[in-house]
Amino acid sequence: MRLGVLDIGSNTVHLLVVDARHGGPPVPARSHKIELRLSENLDEEGLILGDAVDRLSGFIESSLLVAEDTGVTEILAFATSAMREAPNGEEVLDTIERRTGVRLSVLTGDDEARLTFLAVRRWFGWSSGRLLVFDIGGGSLEMAIGMDEEPDIAVSRRLGAAWLTRQHLRSDPPTVAEVREMRRAVRAEIADVVATVTRLGAPELTVATSKTFRQLARIAGAAPSSDGPYVRRILRRDELAAWVPRLSKISSAERAELPGVSPGRAGQLVAGAVVAEAAMDLFGVDELLICPWALREGIILRRLDGLDE
């Protein structure tokens, strides 16, 4: 079957068209996306601005045409942290449904962590043992650990790269005081959940997903995306620790010139790096494996698991 996954994220809104079958991996057939950055299109009260709603509605309408043209038989449409946290999120959902006919499902943070964990487990398999998975999005950080396809513990915290940048980093490049304040807040939040996440035992393998981790691994020397998804990519804590102060001392425009860093994400990279380093340090992780599958693949796999064999 040909599925369309419509992912309304905090940074990117993305329609991924895949050929999917029960028992096999989803194979990408078409990608249609824009960097809308919902988590930045907020007023002082945190409400999603009308212009962003207009652009989101327009993107969804264009995605429906792409889905029709490519023969999609079912669309799985969902939204994550930006919609979940916005005080007018329900109003925005109603507006989108009225304009496009699409009702977005809003995932909880725990949903995101569990579905991402499922994707990582399927990618690495049972031989990877107890998995610890980190995912840094625009609005939140997800953490999950377990031996099975369903994690034993799944945790979400509002530590996304876009949200932290909006809250703490007002200068470009940020000041030393801004970075220090953010670092202190991030570490306190992550330290609060370390014992909960690891209480059933240490992981055999620690994995990271998301654009933020992929960009950090790339600037630290990992292979480019053009080398394909099956290349082993690793992010080491000592290399990341060396990059954090360097990233905080240069402007967004200069960060965008680094390998693998997109202009739309360059402004958030300092916050993402601070979160990644804090997670690795506080959980005692020396290196992370980068997984090419994440939340979208988890959504697809969960849907396929529901099909009759």
CATH number of 2-106: 3.30.420.40
DSSP 259: T
Q: Tell me the pLDDT tens digit for each residue of 108-156.
A: 999 999 999 999 999 999 999 999 999 999 999 999 999 999 999 999 9
Supply the pLDDT for residue 57: 97
Q: Where are the domains of the chain?
A: 2-106, 109-295
Question: What is the Cα 66 distance to its own chain's centre?
Answer: 23
Q: Name the helix (H) or strand (E) containing 113.
A: helix 109-124
202 closest CA partner among 261, 131, 149: 131
Q: What is the mean pLDDT of residues 38-51?
A: 90
DSSP 49: P
Q: How far apart are CA 218 and CA 203, in angstroms?
A: 24
For residue 32, report the phi and psi dihedrals to the nearest 5 degrees.
Answer: -135, 115
**Hey, what amino acid is at 285?**
V
Indicate if the pLDDT at residue 308 is higher than 60.
no
294 closest CA partner among 5, 91, 97, 45: 5
Residue with token string 């369903």? 150
Indicate if the pLDDT at residue 296 is higher than 70.
yes
Q: Tell me the pLDDT tens digit for each residue of 61-70.
A: 999 999 999 9
The listed CATH number (1.10.260.40, 3.30.420.150, 3.40.50.980, 3.40.190.10) that belongs to domain 109-295: 3.30.420.150
Q: How far apart are CA 211 and CA 265, in angstroms?
A: 9
**Hey, what amino acid is at 305?**
D
Q: Of all residues in the chain, what percent carry a pLDDT higher than 70?
A: 99
Q: Give the chain's mean pLDDT.
A: 95
Q: Tell me the pLDDT tens digit for each residue of 15-24.
A: 999 999 888 8
Indicate if the pLDDT at residue 35 is higher than 60.
yes
Supply the pLDDT for residue 40: 86
Q: What is the number of other CB atoms lying within 10 angstroms of the CB of residue 262?
A: 14
DSSP 127: G
Supply the pLDDT for residue 39: 86
* 46 CB burial (10 A radius; 0-12, 13-18, 19+): middle
Supply the pLDDT for residue 307: 73
Task: Please tell me if the domain spanning 2-106 has the same topology as the one spanning 109-295.
Answer: yes
Supply the pLDDT for residue 23: 83
